[in-house]
Amino acid sequence: MRRSVGHHEGALSPCCVKTPPSVSSHYTPKGHLHVGKVPNTGDLEIYEAPFDASKKPTSLIICAYDIFGFHPNTKEVCDNIALATGARVIMPDFYRGDYWSESRRWVKHNPKDSGSNCVICSFNVAFSSIQLMYSWVTYHGSWGQTKQDLINIIEFYKAHEGIHSVGIFGMCWGGKVSVWAGSEIPAIRCAGLIHPSGVSIDEADKIHCPVIVLPSRDEIDFVIILVKQFLQFQI
C-alpha dist (Å) from residue 9 to 85, 134, 203: 32, 10, 11
C-alpha–C-alpha distance, residues 153 and 63, integer Å: 12
pLDDT (0 to 100) of residue 217: 75
pLDDT (0 to 100) of residue 164: 98
Each residue's pLDDT tens digit, 133-144: 777 787 778 899
pLDDT (0 to 100) of residue 121: 42
CA angle 161, 163, 213 (to 5 degrees): 130
Residue 226: how many CB atoms within 10 A of its CB?
12
Residue in 111, 94, 86 with CA at minimum distance from that of residue 173: 94
C-alpha–C-alpha distance, residues 147 and 193, integer Å: 17
Each residue's pLDDT tens digit, 118-129: 433 443 444 456
Over range 199-205, report the average pLDDT.
80
Spell out where the chain has E strands.
32-35, 45-48, 59-64, 88-92, 165-172, 188-196, 211-214
Q: What are phi and psi of 75, to 5 degrees?
A: -65, -35
pLDDT (0 to 100) of residue 168: 98
Each residue's pLDDT tens digit, 143-178: 999 999 999 999 999 999 999 999 999 998 999 999
